[in-house]
Structure 1
């Protein structure tokens, strides 16, 4: 074999004219076998031909190796080559380099036709492995039937593709062609512009949406996803572009199904209209558009029905949600802003008739009116807008507006259909939230109207009540508190919790509160009052419809504090115990034995009586304050007790203390209503109370009058002497005549003068109108005329008839 042509060049076939798989030769591009070393060996294994690439690989010139056995160039001779009588077809050895290093190479041999010589081709093993892996990857890609891969040379001619040569079958190109041979001219030009940009800049394109039509079949258009990257040789020189095409039609359908499913899962979980709007906008970005805003009619925020409106003008819309919250929006667009008046545009009319509309920046400008507003409200680089009405039960609640910006694709018809479905589901969720808002506002208004004033100030105590409604979707739950002023300066404290929620629970709470106030005027003992309330609840439950039974049960704590005796009597119907904070700062839960809830009859209630020092704080609450998340009710009660001991200071107002406690103990979105009633007790000074034991003697009436006269004179109440003498005379006369000993007369001075006569006969006195000829029967009638009010209360074995007269403050 003549080797003169290989000494300073590549052997024929080593680096010249390698054809592609399709059989064509890349025009003007680098060759696949650049850098492949070649040598020619005679039949004895001596070097007779040496290429320049072999010199580059080993550092030896041709004259240095010519005629030498090739084994001298090997750093280590494998055992199989020691025993071999001829060179193997392929293998891997380590070559010596002229500088002393070694090179791991992979070689292949072949006999030269018509000669005893061998051609040896070698390349560094690392480069050979890269080539093998690349070839394997290319074979794997070209074998995919769902991905079309095309290799283009620097002229964008297709040199290799896995598209079938006889049919396009949804694939864009064929080998040896240009894109315009397969695609419509406009689509081919669009794709070639992308590929040329990749070839020039080296910046790859990933997942670009392209809509194309085949040249021989323009309809229908197909959605493709194009990814492209530049091909380079070992020296970094561009050799072409690789393009991957996937049919995106099915993928888009799956994405749309996924988006519809995500809307169904995420939208509607909240009963707050603003939160629902945010959920809806969050789902749409970036899956459906680059920017999204949800506008709602102002009435929707309040739970009301928006008015019907047709035509332009101020539509009273407010931006409820913007996504993303800050980026890409002009400074004039902020959450909570009012939507400016709109022109009476045909697009607006179509929208108001329930149609989803798509328009561009020019139409947007026509809707807004005025170039200045367009610059303030048009998102940067926006090119397409889709607006869908939130339409439910014949009401247009608002709108979903989605923007596409930059290089994103325009909206398609199937996306318009998808938006109709999303808007329909979003409108239903929004309407549910709106209706809940309306019911919640009504229940809150009803409950607030039924609750007493937040603070009271009486002779017995100063009180402060705090109510925090639930933050969940269940609405108000009928928790209440009350502070009821009773005769003889006493004070009733009430805390209750109705089972159920919403307006039915608030209505039941109002009925129970009214009943307790009525029964408290009878001055019953706490256990007796709860027994009667339980009977009432049973009657209400029997009268209620089956769907309202859940709002007919309740728990209740009823306590009565007497500032004269400084004692507090209380009973519980399934309600948690009150917490007592003493003046020294120590706190503990009162050891009270609770009876059954008010919906359960047949079990007795028990009255517990405790002594209270002046300045003590009694805290009544509902279980929403101690049932906190994973905490057990006992843990919650301990937390409340510790917090009360820390917060209830004499120098701090009770209403401030109550609000601070609820803020510290209750989550931002409590699972249940939380109610707290704080009462700081007072006491009537001993010098303002006078007692006189009534003898069993009719003559004691005059003595009682004289004693009352002396006491009122000592108190400086001379203006009340005459009516008080008459009241004392009548009450003491009745006690002697109809009562049982022992009997007692008591006078109490505060802002009123209280006159009480107690005896051991529990019979109820009756007020009647005496006839002209009657000799008696006018005593209580006379008392009722002289006093501001009067009444009778019963103890366990006694009764007390009392009267009150207003003490006039003298001017200085």
Structure 2
């Protein structure tokens, strides 16, 4: 057989094969001429279904593909025809007999042997199911990535409706059992009748869509309806929305909203976890959107399972946070103690960190300790550790320790608590949570006009001077409580003029902002301190990101000079009588009653006698008339006095014992050089 005969045989075979391809191919095929008219088309082409093929020949492509939405088909084809650039796997949205479809088109330009453009070849495949699966997968990914980023059950609902509208539904509603919002355990199914639900989220593709309830409304769901049924058997259901459906009469408000929105398909999905009913998701489709099907119902069940878990996590956090906040309120002082020379107010910025604490402690000699600290951790664990450390600070402050020494001992206490935590059973999650804390401890002395402070960690106070200038005392940061002590604690003494404002905060961000802001704080002495606290909160930028913070705002006031006297005493036994006489005269001038005056004179006698016998000159006696009557005797000796219980045959040794019985409190305060023995007597009018 010759070569030409072979070619004729090939041609004779190719033509029937081409005919068979057009007749049998499951892919839509057709050829267009240079005028974009149909030259040949097969029956499976989307535009040819249900129509004789002969009726489509010669018709423009725009008429054959008039079901395509949102695309100019003729422009796409013209671009390929003019440029020769093929269009590959291009997805087009269409609608056939009211049913939305997706088609994937590939368009090639055809050229003859001499390069003449003959027309276009078009292959079209129905990829509706593939695109629906892709859309469902995208919705599932969006819900998994976007829902549950917060521990707020109401925000969780907002995250859900944002993820599914309009990608999966035209409108979405999330309703959660009201008790779950407050942190209570969700009820077992079936949900009792008239159980209140809160609408936590609503989103619609239409800005004018009507609503049966506003977000935040608390209401019960009338029944029987698909909503109550879903909360009973905990099963999702697809419901065609027929205006004549009898169940619509049970919930007129919802029925009116459904009718007005022209929704035609409803997918009700319960939010459930371990046979409990957490809430309900309602998804609607309206207008040209297809009705929900079995695949949509399966996807919605997965979306609801993830959302229910997120809502339950938020519920658990809410309950734990509520318990922690309740415990914290019991552990923290409700209001600052009143001090003659220091006016203080407590302030919580955006709520209270469960591990943060503040305190003002009255010390001897009209001094005041100011404490702010924060324990790392969350909820009850941080609150419990905070309570332990606050109690330890209060106990240590009774010993009149300098700030640096007090923090050193508090560091030891925190180390013991951390060691106890590390010895918990292996299965206890608290064992893996390190106990660390920051703390600042300061002592304000109005008689010297100074504030001595020390810090553990990054906390530092802000000092606002009477002229409005702001400074941060340069205090060396000691090691954080609960961490290895790699450096000593150091105390810093700063001058605090009368009328200054001290701000102690549990977050360094607030300290940095206050020290860097150019806006002066309105610290007028005539302005109420609570107004100053409010002004401080109002001035904070919303994007500062300080989170929760505990704050003490304290304003210094002058101590009345007439309520403090001191005398230098000679190291001679005759000074005892002199001290008694001067004390009696001063107490008379202060209108102190005779009983208190007599007790004070006796205490002065004993303290001056001890200072003469066992101390070193110079000697000084000081009386302070404040919330209590304070008597101090200072000398340069460093020998520590101790309480002695003298025997019945001993003539001496009872001085300090007598003093301790007469005074409400007494102690020793060391300084450089020397020491001060002090006592406090409660005044009758106090």
Band of TM-score, shorter chain: 0.7 to 0.9
Alpha-carbon shift at residue 295 of structure 1 (Å): 0.5
Counterpart contact for 2:336–2:359, Cα < 8 Å:
no
1:409 pairs, out of 287, 290, 294, with 290
Partner of 1:649: 524
Deviations 1:92-114 (A, max 9, x none): xxxxxxxxxxxxxxxxxxxxxxx
- Unaligned ranges ≥5, structure 1: 1-140, 152-158, 180-191, 196-204, 213-222, 228-243, 628-632
Residue 485 of structure 1 corresponds to which residue in structure 2?
A: 362
Out of 521, 537, 542, the position equivalent to 2:414 is: 537
Determine the C-alpha separation between the residues in 2 that align with 1:434 and 1:149.
Answer: 59
**Which residue matches 1:595?**
478
Could you tell me which residue of structure 2 aligns to residue 581 of structure 1? 464
Per-residue deviation, 1:169? 11
Aligned equivalent of 1:735: 611
Q: Would you say the 8 A contact 1:390–1:426 is kept in 2? A: yes
Q: What is residue 111 of structure 1 aligned with on the other side?
A: none
1:322 equivalenced with 2:322 (yes/no): no
Q: 2:247 matched to 1:335? A: no
Instruction: Give the match for residue 382 of structure 1.
Output: 263
State the 1:369 CA deviation.
Answer: 1.6
Q: What are the Cα deviations for residues 439-467 of structure 1, in whole angstroms up to 9, with x where unaligned? A: 33333333343333354431130112323
**SS of alignment partner, residue 602 of structure 2:** helix
1:654 deviation in Å?
2.7
Find the counterpart in structure 2 of residue 355 from structure 1: 235
How much has 1:540 moved relative to structure 2?
Answer: 2.1
Tell me: higher relative CO, structure 1 or 2? Use CA pairs within 8 A at least 6 residues apart.
2
Deviation at 1:326, TM superposition (A): 7.6
Q: Deviation per CA, 1:671-717, whole angstroms, max 9, x where unpaired?
A: 54333322111232222111122332333322221111111122222
Pair 1:583–1:478, CA change in 2 (3 A): same
> C-alpha separation between the residues in 2 aligned to 1:793 and 1:171?
102
Q: What does 1:283-298 correspond to in 2, within 5 Å?
A: 283-298=163-178
Relative distance call for 1:485 and 1:394 in structure 2 (3 A) is farther
In 2, Cα distance between the equivalents of 1:261 and 1:329? 27
Taking a change above 3 Å as real, the CA distance of residues 434 and 367 of structure 1, as seen in their structure-2 partners, is farther
Secondary structure of the 2:659 match is helix
1:620 match: secondary structure:
strand
2:677 is the counterpart of 1:790: no
Kindly indicate whether residue 338 of structure 2 is the aligned counterpart of residue 457 of structure 1.
yes
Relative to structure 1, the CA distance from residue 148 to residue 168 in structure 2 (aligned partners, 3 Å threshold; closer, same or farther) is closer
Task: Give ranges in structure 2 of 5+ residues lacking alignment.
Answer: 1-21, 57-63, 68-91, 105-123, 424-429
Alignment of 1:20-59 (within 5 A): none
Offset of residue 561 of structure 1: 1.0
Query: Is contact 1:273-1:430 (8 Å) kept?
Result: yes
CA displacement at 1:350 relative to structure 2:
4.7
Q: Indicate which of 578, 601, 620 corresponds to 1:744.
A: 620
What residue number does 2:444 align with?
561
Contact 2:644–2:653, Cα closer than 8 Å, also in 1: yes
SS of structure 2 residue aligned to 1:411:
coil
Is the aligned partner of 1:607 residue 2:491? yes
**8 Å Cα contact 1:571/1:607 also seen in 2:** yes
Q: Does 1:303 align with 2:183?
A: yes
Task: Give yes or no for the alignment of 1:264 onto 2:264.
Answer: no
Checking the alignment, whether the CA contact within 8 Å between 2:479 and 2:486 is kept in structure 1 is: no
- Greater Cα offset, 315-324 or 330-339: 330-339
Q: Higher mean Cα deviation, 766-775 or 582-591?
A: 766-775
> Equivalences for 1:621-770 in 2 at 5 Å?
621-626=505-510, 636=513, 638-640=515-517, 642-643=518-519, 645-667=520-542, 670=545, 672-719=547-594, 720-770=596-646
Aligned equivalents of 1:550 and 1:798: distance in 2? 44
Partner residue of 2:50?
173
Change in CA separation of 1:272 and 1:733 when aligned onto 2, cut-off 3 Å: same
Give the secondary-structure state (helix, strand or coil) at the position aligned to 1:516. helix
CA 1:625–1:702: 2 relative to 1, 3 Å: same
C-alpha distance 557-490 of structure 1, shift in aligned 2 (>3 A): same
- Alignment partner, residue 207 of structure 1: 94
1:94 alignment counterpart: none
Question: Hey, what's the Cα distance between the residues in 1 that align with 2:324 and 2:40?
Answer: 69
Deviations 1:50-86 (A, max 9, x none): xxxxxxxxxxxxxxxxxxxxxxxxxxxxxxxxxxxxx
1:419 aligns with 300
CA contact (8 A) 1:494 1:556 kept: yes
- Of residues 676-685 and 482-491 in structure 1, the stretch that sits farther from structure 2 once superposed is 676-685
CA contact 1:477–1:499 (8 Å) conserved in 2: no
**1:511-569 residue CA offsets vs partner (Å, 9 max, x unmatched):** 22211111111010111111111222222222223855654222222111111222221
Distance 1:573 1:162, change over 3 A: farther
Matched residue, 1:281: 161
Contact 1:303–1:435 (8 Å) recurs in 2: yes
Indicate which of 322, 335, 342 corresponds to 1:441. 322
Kept in 2, the 8 Å contact 1:295–1:398? The answer is yes
Specify the structure having the higher radius of gyration (Cα): 1
Q: TM-score, normalised by structure 1?
A: 0.67
User: For each residue in 1:592-645, what CA deviation from the matched residue of structure 2 results, as whole angstroms up to 9, or x when unmatched?
Assistant: 233333323142222222222211112222334348xxxxx5xx46425x44x4
How big is the shift at 1:771?
A: 4.3
**Structure 1 residues 350 and 273 mapped into 2: Cα distance closer, same or farther (>3 Å)?**
closer
User: What are the equivalent positions in structure 2 for 1:58-207 lying under 5 Å apart?
Assistant: 164=42, 172-173=49-50, 175-176=52-53, 207=94
Q: 2:386 aligns with which of 509, 523, 543?
A: 509
Structure 1 CA distance for aligned equivalents of residues 137 and 47 of structure 2: 23
SS in 2 for 1:647: coil
Q: Is the 8 A contact 2:176 2:197 kept in 1?
A: yes
Report which stretch shifted further, 396-405 or 591-600. 591-600
Q: Aligned equivalents of 2:344 and 2:422: distance in 1?
A: 37
Deviation per CA, 1:567-606: give whole Å up to 9, x if none: 2211222334322222222222223233333323142222
> Relative to structure 2, which stretch is displaced further, 759-768 or 389-398?
759-768
TM-score (norm 2): 0.78
1:414 Cα deviation after fit: 1.2
CA positional deviation for 1:481: 2.5
CA distance in 1, matches of 2:484, 2:412: 9
Cα distance in 2 for partners of 1:779, 1:365 equals 95
Distance (Å, rounded) in 2 between the aligned partners of 1:449 and 1:592: 32
Structure 1 418/364 Cα, relative in aligned 2: closer, same or farther at 3 Å? Answer: farther
Q: CA deviation at 1:398?
A: 0.7
Superposition deviation, residue 296 in structure 1: 0.5
Q: What is the distance in 1 between the residues matched to 2:206 and 2:603?
A: 77
1:345-367: per-residue Cα shift (whole Å, max 9, x none)? 58734543221012235697626
Offset at residue 343 of structure 1 (A): 1.9
Say yes or no: does 1:251 pair with 2:131: yes
Question: What CA distance in whole angstroms lies between the structure 2 residues aligned with 1:511 and 1:349?
Answer: 51
Match runs of 1:388-399 below 5 Å: 388-399=269-280
Conserved 8 A contact 2:400-2:667:
no
Instruction: State whether residues 498 and 551 of structure 1, in contact with CA within 8 Å, keep that contact through their aligned partners in structure 2.
Output: no
